[in-house]
Amino acid sequence: DTSAKVIDGKLVSKQIKDEVAEEVARMKEAIGIVPGLAVILVGSRKDSQTYVRSKKKACEAVGIKSYEANLPEDSTEEDVLKHISAFNNDPSVHGILVQLPLPRHMNEETILNAVSIERDVDGFHPLNIGRLAMQGRYPLFVPCTPKGCMELLHRYGVEIKGKRAVVIGRSNIVGMPAALLLQKANATVSIVHSQTKNPEEITRQADIVISAVGVANLVRGSWIKPGAVVIDVGINPVDDPESPRGYRLVGDVCYEEACEVASAVTPVPGGVGPMTIAMLLSNTLESAKRIHNFK
Amino acid sequence: DTSAKVIDGKLVSKQIKDEVAEEVARMKEAIGIVPGLAVILVGSRKDSQTYVRSKKKACEAVGIKSYEANLPEDSTEEDVLKHISAFNNDPSVHGILVQLPLPRHMNEETILNAVSIERDVDGFHPLNIGRLAMQGRYPLFVPCTPKGCMELLHRYGVEIKGKRAVVIGRSNIVGMPAALLLQKANATVSIVHSQTKNPEEITRQADIVISAVGVANLVRGSWIKPGAVVIDVGINPVDDPESPRGYRLVGDVCYEEACEVASAVTPVPGGVGPMTIAMLLSNTLESAKRIHNFK
Ligand SMILES: NC(=O)C1=CN([C@@H]2O[C@H](COP(=O)(O)OP(=O)(O)OC[C@H]3O[C@@H](n4cnc5c(N)ncnc54)[C@H](OP(=O)(O)O)[C@@H]3O)[C@@H](O)[C@H]2O)C=CC1
Ligand SMILES: NC(=O)C1=CN([C@@H]2O[C@H](COP(=O)(O)OP(=O)(O)OC[C@H]3O[C@@H](n4cnc5c(N)ncnc54)[C@H](OP(=O)(O)O)[C@@H]3O)[C@@H](O)[C@H]2O)C=CC1
C-alpha cells in the first residue's frame, strides 16, 4: 500500500508566513520598526532573477520591506563590497543576502564574509557554522534550507533525539548544516557523499533521511528503511515531453517508491522548496527583533 | 591471535618533535625569530599545573620560547582578558592557550573568544571550527588532539578516503573536530554519543574508530569490525592496588580485546596522549611561520 504521509511544505510554509506577518505587524504597531531585507544580485542569470523576484514578493506579502541592489555581471568585487557595506550600515536593513552563484571573477568567500554577522540571515558565515557545530554554542542564524527541513520534522511531530539520521550530501548550504542540526537535536548522524562506498546500505539504517544531492531518483525505495521519514531537498529537472516547458522538476528521491516504504515523505515540488523562503522571512524578522531588542 | 599492530604515539610524537626542533632552528638561523607560546593558567588545580609544566618542558626541548601567566583562582574575568590582550599584542608570542577548565565564575566562551584567531593554536575559536566544517575552507589551526589522531593515521599509512569512520564522543575539543577532519578527508562519518541507541552495532561497521568518551572499557572487542583501526583518545583512571598510586590509566577501549580483532590500535598511555603536545608545538611553529611569512 502507498501509505506514506505527505509532508506538505506548501501548507507549513503558509502557516509560517502567516505567523511572520502577524509578528511583523505587532512589531510595527509596538515600536514602529519594519524589518528590512536587502538582496544583492550580480549579473543577469535568469534563475537567479527568478529567485530574487520571489524573495521580494514573499517579503511584500508579510510586510517585510525589501531592498535590492542589481549590479552588472562585469562589476568588480569592490563594487559588491561597497554595496554590502552600505547595507551593513543602513539601520532599516536587518538582513542581507547575496544571491549565489556570483560571477566567476569574484571570490565568494571574501564577499560572503563581508556581510555583518548580525545581518547574515543566510547563516553562511563560518562563525555561524562554527557555533552550529559546537556544543553549548548557538548561531545567530541557521541556514534557511536546513532550518526548513528541521521545521518540517518538528511540525509533523517527528522525534529526532536518539534516532538514526542519514544526510546525503554535505554542501555548505544544505547537507553539512542539516547534519549539524540533526546532531544538535541528539540524532545519531551519518553523512553520505560522493565518496561513500555503500550509500544504499547506510541510508537503509536511518529513521530520518535528508537528501540534498542534485541527482534525480538517486534514492530508491530499496534505500529506505520501512517507516522512515524522508526529506527530499533535491530539485532536479528531468525531460518531460508532456510538460509545456519540456521538463519537470523532481527530487533526489524516487517519490512513488518512497511512498510505499516510508512513513512520511516530502514531495518535490511542494516540500522543502517553499520552506526555504519562509525561513528567510523568519530569520529576517528574528534579526530585526534582536537588533531592536523586541520580544 | 593477538595480531593488531600497536600504533606507537610516543615514537611518532618524538619524530614530530624532532621535525619541529629542526624547523625552529632553521627559522632562527634564517630570520632570527624564535616561536613563542604563552600559556595562561588560572587557579591551582594539580592536574592543570602538571599539563602546563609538561607543555613548558616540551617547548624548551624543541627551542620554542614559553611564556606563562599564573593567575589566582579568584581572579576576575577582566584580569584574564587583560593578560590575553597583552599576549595578543606581544610580537614574540605566536601561540596563546588558556588551560581549561577555568574557574566556575568565568565564562569560557568569552575568554576563549578573546584569543586572537591568528594565535589560537588550540583551534577552539568558533571561526576555526566553522572553517573546519566547511567545504573549500580551511582553519588557521586544527585542534591538537584530533590533529594528533589524524597524524597517527597518516603516519601509519591508513587510507581514509571512502572508508567508514565512527567517532564516539562529540565534545568541542576532541570528538566533534575529529569527525569534521575525517569527513574532510572523505571518510563516511557517523557520530556516536550518549543519546545513541545502538552504539555497538554502529561502531562495528567502521573501518576506523576514534573513541573520545572518558569511560574505561566502553568499547569491547565485539564493537570492533575485524581489521579495523582503533584510535583511543580516552584517559581514564581505574583502581589498581598494585600500582604505587593506587590507580592506573586506561583508555575507552578494552585494549586486550581490541588487539584480537583490530588491525591496529593505539595503547593508553603512549598512543594519542603524547601526540597532543607534539601537535601544539607544531601549531605554534606553523603560527610563527605564518606571522613572519617564513616558508
Ligand atoms: N529546496 C531548496 O530550497 C533548495 C534545494 N536545493 C537542491 O538541493 C540539491 C543539492 O544542492 P546543494 O547542496 O547546493 O548541491 P551541491 O552540488 O553543492 O552538493 C551536492 C552534494 O551531494 C553529494 N553527492 C554528489 N553525488 C552524489 C552521489 N551519487 N551520492 C551521494 N552523494 C552525492 C556531493 O558530494 P561531495 O561533497 O563528495 O562532492 C555534495 O556534497 C540540488 O538539487 C539543489 O537544487 C539546494 C538549495 C535549496
Ligand atoms: N589524549 C589526550 O591528549 C586527550 C585525552 N582526552 C580524554 O578523552 C576523553 C574524552 O574527553 P572530552 O572529549 O574532553 O570529554 P567530554 O566529557 O567533553 O565528552 C565526552 C563525549 O562522550 C559522549 N559520551 C558519554 N558517555 C557515552 C557513552 N556511554 N556512549 C557514547 N558516548 C558517550 C558524550 O556524549 P554527549 O555529548 O551526548 O554528552 C560526549 O560527547 C577523556 O577520557 C579525556 O581524558 C581529552 C583531551 C585530550
- pLDDT tens, position by position, B238-271: 999 999 999 999 999 999 999 999 999 999 999 9
Instruction: Specify the pLDDT at position B2.
Output: 62
Residues A42, A108 share a domain: yes
> Which string of DSSP letters, residue by residue, matches A79-118?
HHHHHHHHHHT-TT--EEEEPSSPPTTS-HHHHHHHS-GG
Rounded Cα distance between A276 and A271, Å, is 10
Question: Beta partners for A250?
Answer: A236
Residues A211, A161 share a domain: yes
pLDDT in tens, B128-175: 999 999 999 999 999 999 999 999 999 999 999 999 999 999 999 999
**Do B275 and B282 form a contact (C-beta atoms < 8 A)?**
no
Measured between CB atoms, does B94 come within 8 Å of chain A?
A: no
Q: E strands along chain A, which residues? A: 5-6, 36-42, 65-71, 95-98, 164-168, 188-192, 208-211, 229-232, 236-239, 247-250, 264-265
Residues B266, B201 share a domain: yes
- Residue B183: its chain A contacts at CB < 8 A? 170, 191
Residue B3 pLDDT level (bands cut at 50, 70, 90): confident
Which of B274, B276, B265 is CA-nearest to residue B211?
B265
| CB of A169 shorter than 6 A to ligand 1 | yes
Reply yes or no on whether the pLDDT at B1 is more than 80: no
Cβ neighbours around B184 below 10 Å, total: 20
Instruction: Specify the pLDDT at position B280.
Output: 98
Residue B98 domain flag: yes
Cβ neighbours around A293 below 10 Å, total: 7
Residues B93, B157 share a domain: no
Share of chain B above pLDDT 70, in %: 99
DSSP β-ladder status, B229-232 and B208-211: parallel
| CB of B212 shorter than 6 A to ligand 2 | yes
Cβ neighbours around B158 below 10 Å, total: 17
**Do A219 and A253 form a contact (C-beta atoms < 8 A)?**
yes
Mean pLDDT of chain A: 97
- Shortest Cα distance from A281 to chain B (angstroms)? 24
Residue B130 domain flag: no
- Shortest Cα distance from A172 to chain B (angstroms)? 6
* Closest in A137, A170, A192 to B135, CB measured: A170
| CB of A282 shorter than 6 A to ligand 1 | no
Residue B200 domain flag: yes
Residue A132 domain flag: no
Residue B225 pLDDT level (bands cut at 50, 70, 90): very high
Residues A234, A150 share a domain: yes
What HEC string does B233-268 produce?
CCCEEEECCCCCCCEEEECCECHHHHHHHCCEECCC
Residues A202, A94 share a domain: no
Instruction: Specify the pLDDT at position A159.
Output: 98
Give distance in angstroms: CA of B141 to centre of ligand 2.
21
Residues B41, B95 share a domain: yes
* Amino acid present at A99: Q
Instruction: Specify the pLDDT at position B252.
Output: 98
Residues A163, A52 share a domain: no
Enter the C-alpha cell of residue B2: 593477538
Establish whether B197 is a catalytic residue: no
Q: What is the ipTM of this complex?
A: 0.96
Instruction: Specify the pLDDT at position A2.
Output: 62
Residues A147, A112 share a domain: no
DSSP β-ladder status, A208-211 and A95-98: unpaired
Q: At what angle do helices A175-184 and A126-133 cross, to 10 degrees?
A: 30
Residues A112, A150 share a domain: no
Enter the C-alpha cell of residue A32: 514602529
- Buried/exposed code over A245-255 (b: 16+ C-beta within 10 A; e: otherwise): eeeebbbbbbb
**Inter-chain CB proximity B133 and A135 less than 8 Å:** no
Contacts of A64 (CB under 8 A, 6+ apart): A20, A24, A34, A35, A36, A37, A281, A284, A285
**Do A95 and A125 form a contact (C-beta atoms < 8 A)?**
no
**Inter-chain CB proximity B135 and A109 less than 8 Å:** no
Q: Which helix (H) or strand (E) holds B96?
A: strand B95-98
CATH number where B74 lies: 3.40.50.10860
CATH number where A154 lies: 3.40.50.720
Which domain range does residue B218 map to?
Answer: 143-273
**Inter-chain CB proximity B128 and A129 less than 8 Å:** no
The protein residue with its alpha carbon nearest to ligand 2, atom 36, reads B194
Residue A79 domain flag: yes
Which residues of A are known catalytic residues?
Answer: 55, 99, 122
Number of domains in chain B: 2
Instruction: Specify the pLDDT at position A3.
Output: 84
Enter the C-alpha cell of residue A138: 548557538
What averages of pLDDT result for each successive group of 10 residues across chain A (295 residues)? 88 98 98 98 95 96 98 97 98 97 95 95 95 96 98 98 98 98 98 98 98 98 98 97 94 98 98 97 98 96
**Inter-chain CB proximity B130 and A128 less than 8 Å:** yes
- Shortest Cα distance from A244 to chain B (angstroms)? 38
Residue among B174, B266, B272 to mutate when testing ligand 2 (max atoms within 8 A of CB): B174
- Shortest Cα distance from B96 to chain A (angstroms)? 20
| CB of B113 shorter than 6 A to ligand 2 | no
C-alpha dihedral sign at B153, B156, B157, B162: negative
* Closest in A134, A172, A196 to B126, CB measured: A134
Measured between CB atoms, does A101 come within 8 Å of chain B?
A: no
- Please compute the mean of the pLDDT values over residues B69-88 and round it to a whole number: 97
Residue B290 domain flag: no
Reply yes or no on whether the pLDDT at B61 is more than 60: yes
Residues B84, B164 share a domain: no
CA dihedral A208, A212, A215, A221 (to 10 degrees): 10
**Inter-chain CB proximity A176 and B134 less than 8 Å:** yes
| CB of A233 shorter than 6 A to ligand 1 | yes
Residue B211 domain flag: yes
Q: How far is CA A181 from CA A169, A176, B11, in A?
A: 14, 9, 39
* Closest in A133, A172, A191 to B129, CB measured: A133
Residue B167 domain flag: yes
Residues A194, A73 share a domain: no
Provide the total of helices (H) and of strands (E) in chain A, helices listed first.
Answer: 10, 11
Return the half-sphere exposure (C-beta side, CA atoms, 13 A cut-off) of residue B139. Answer: 30
Which residues of chain A from 158 to 197 reach within 8 Å of chain B, CB to CB? 161-162, 164, 170-172, 176, 180, 183, 186, 188-193, 195-197
